[in-house]
Structure 1
């Protein structure tokens, strides 16, 4: 600010990370000139129209090396997996609790479906959603590190599908089920696989952050809630289980 009176000029430098910045000049301000100059900024990788600081962390979708799916066609789905596909959530609790080996069979089926790269396959949505039920009702006394790895590999495959980072239906359903399935890895057996999933979860969060209005997309209200809740679940439940 410059003034007609000598010695009363003032300079104020402000660093604002993002958003609107308001300045109010109070008091006796007759004869005061106010000018604003912008400094250097770097483009926001989520929304290049907005300026951002150079410290903005960019989390890109990641590709990881995983083994090929253990099965090669839907004809190889176990009878238990077929029963899940043909039934509903109301029946899944009993299946989760009383069917030995079910989570391994489901994970293998999800892995196969994800590698087919058809996000619209209803069986993929159903089986991912079943993992949420298993997290609540499954018999974790029989849950092994091998089971956890099968789930982790299956979720890697899902997160690397071509249309995973998109807004068209049923991407929102897949995002929601992916996020809720992660809770199965908060056991001692799954602990080593939690950190492997974090880059996917963080990239998915940043993808949502770049949407001007995510809630216009099918199921994105629910998926947004579950993606954010996943960070809480992994931290809180993992801590309860003495994993972190």
Structure 2
């Protein structure tokens, strides 16, 4: 049974981007192990999970019912309730790495963790499957190859949360949520593109007008480059999960 490592922050990760991959991976028999900063079970962004304070845009920004159900199943699983500490991660014990995202400022401890950046670098150097979605791509972009000092994504094609998506969510909600939808002053797309050897390696894909689902994963958008798979937002989660499983099956 192949083992997949999924690090998370204590609070603030996107429920869809963690739970849909977990659901599909475990359905295929993969062993999914979580890790959090202190070894306590994490919690998804409740604003996204419950639609709190999203106002008239709740229908657009809240996690869909299928993702909410998957999250509740995941949050009651043994592996989720007994995560490792970041300091306990032994990357050589895992076959693949999956990096969810999230908007809430609570994800910063995850995105800025030097321990996790070393773990990401290990997987890239070993050329084991790595999947990153949304802000998870920021963690990958910040991880340095110790041989070159450059980002592990320097020579890879990738996608991530688009600047247009991030700015739209910010402008729709900024009057009451302030900078909630801007995790950092610099957009995800801008930071990730700056880490690449050529900004043209960042692929935006088609306009993200609809979300994919279990019956229509083809509606999502992903970019695969060798052992690395990336996606933009929760609307790509089913395609992302399906293609990540395909990578594992052929790794």
Instruction: Give the TM-score category using the shorter length.
Output: 0.3 to 0.5
Structure whose CA Rg is larger: 1
Compute the TM-score of the two structures, normalised by the length of structure 2.
0.32
The normalised TM-score by structure 1 is: 0.32
